[in-house]
């Protein structure tokens, strides 16, 4: 059940990734490509990451760590990534920042200075608190694990399957039910089965043996006579007799 559900979910994610990457449509944030207007000329250029080492036009899954500008200093945001497509950025990111109070404060303090396509920061938003790191230690997913890896397990710590045939029957309302069960036979059953087989074989031989003997009794002499006729053993050959005159 778990494996089928996980595979179906991952296939859906892969389908979204493939459609987004190969359509190569420019998004409003310009993460995969951007448009330049200059003297009546319009140019479309592919975005690049990692200091130009990864270009979105040739490598769809380019990502790099997000950096926030504080005066003249660029500060990385722990576990946050940006790339050609938002979904790749999300999948390559981790939840580390959400469990780090310093990281949360950094984002809150620097967000008003970020000009993100006309998005206005509301300063009245209360300062958020980081998540309880002790709860993360109880999870099977460490905070530095990428969201992509977490989705492989559907973010489920433990599956508790419960089988309820009555509810299943009510939902499906089948016209017929059948099942297959593998049962290991005990010694008594095996011995009884063998004795039954041997007894049946003995009875069959008692019935078939006289018939087989009768068939062989009638067939063998006829076959022998036919064979002798075939090789000419029954032909009469003249014999030369030598007689001697009496003295």
* Separation between Cα atoms, residue 128 and residue 108, nearest integer Å: 8
Residues 146 and 31 in one domain: yes
**pLDDT tens, position by position, 25-69:** 888 788 888 888 887 788 888 899 998 899 988 888 889 999 888
Contact between residue 131 and residue 99 where contact means Cβ atoms under 8 Å apart: yes
The tally of domains found in the chain comes to 2
Residues 42 and 131 in one domain: yes
Asked whether residue 165 is assigned to any structural domain, the reply reads no
Residues 109 and 207 in one domain: no
* Separation between Cα atoms, residue 90 and residue 80, nearest integer Å: 8
Residue 244 is predicted with a pLDDT of 46
Residues 54 and 130 in one domain: yes
Residues 48 and 93 in one domain: yes
Residues 194 and 132 in one domain: no
DSSP state of 119: B
Residues 113 and 53 in one domain: yes
Asked whether residue 168 is assigned to any structural domain, the reply reads no
Residue 232 is predicted with a pLDDT of 56
Using the 3D structure, point to which of 131, 152, 173 is the last residue of a domain.
152
Asked whether residue 210 is assigned to any structural domain, the reply reads yes
Residue 92 is predicted with a pLDDT of 92
Residues 218 and 100 in one domain: no
Residues 146 and 192 in one domain: no
Residues 210 and 103 in one domain: no
Domain containing 212 equals 186-231
Percentage, residues of the chain above pLDDT 90? 12
Residues 124 and 25 in one domain: yes
**pLDDT tens, position by position, 108-126:** 888 766 655 556 666 677 8
Q: Any idea how long the chain is?
A: 247
Asked whether residue 159 is assigned to any structural domain, the reply reads no
Residue 86 is predicted with a pLDDT of 87
Asked whether residue 89 is assigned to any structural domain, the reply reads yes
Asked whether residue 236 is assigned to any structural domain, the reply reads no
Report angle CA 85, 108, 73 to the nearest 5 degrees: 75
Place of tokens 């200091």: 51
For residues 178-189, average pLDDT: 78
Asked whether residue 161 is assigned to any structural domain, the reply reads no
pLDDT at 158 over 70: yes
Residues 222 and 120 in one domain: no
């Amino acid at each position: 059940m778990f494996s089928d559900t996980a595979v179906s979910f991952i296939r859906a994610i892969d389908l979204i990734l493939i459609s987004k990457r190969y359509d190569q449509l420019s998004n409003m944030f310009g993460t995969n490509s951007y448009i330049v207007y200059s003297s009546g000329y319009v140019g479309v250029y592919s975005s690049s990451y990692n200091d130009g080492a990864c270009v979105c036009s040739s490598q769809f899954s380019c990502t790099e760590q997000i950096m926030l500008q504080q005066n003249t200093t660029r500060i990385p945001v722990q576990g946050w990534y940006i790339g050609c497509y938002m979904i790749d950025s999300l999948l390559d990111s981790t939840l580390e920042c959400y469990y780090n109070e310093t990281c949360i404060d950094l984002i809150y303090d620097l967000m008003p200075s970020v000009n993100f396509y006309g998005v206005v920061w509301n300063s009245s938003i209360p300062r958020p608190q980081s998540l309880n790191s002790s709860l993360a230690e109880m999870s099977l997913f460490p905070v530095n694990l990428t969201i992509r890896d977490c989705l492989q397990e559907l973010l489920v710590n433990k599956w508790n399957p419960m089988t309820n045939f009555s509810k299943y029957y009510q939902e499906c309302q089948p016209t017929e039910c059948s099942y297959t069960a593998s049962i290991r036979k005990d010694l008594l059953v095996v011995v009884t089965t063998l004795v039954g087989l041997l007894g049946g074989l003995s009875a069959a031989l008692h019935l078939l043996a006289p018939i087989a003997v009768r068939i062989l009794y009638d067939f063998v002499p006829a076959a022998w006579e036919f064979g002798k006729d075939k090789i000419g053993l029954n032909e009469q050959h003249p014999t030369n007799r030598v007689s001697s005159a009496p003295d």
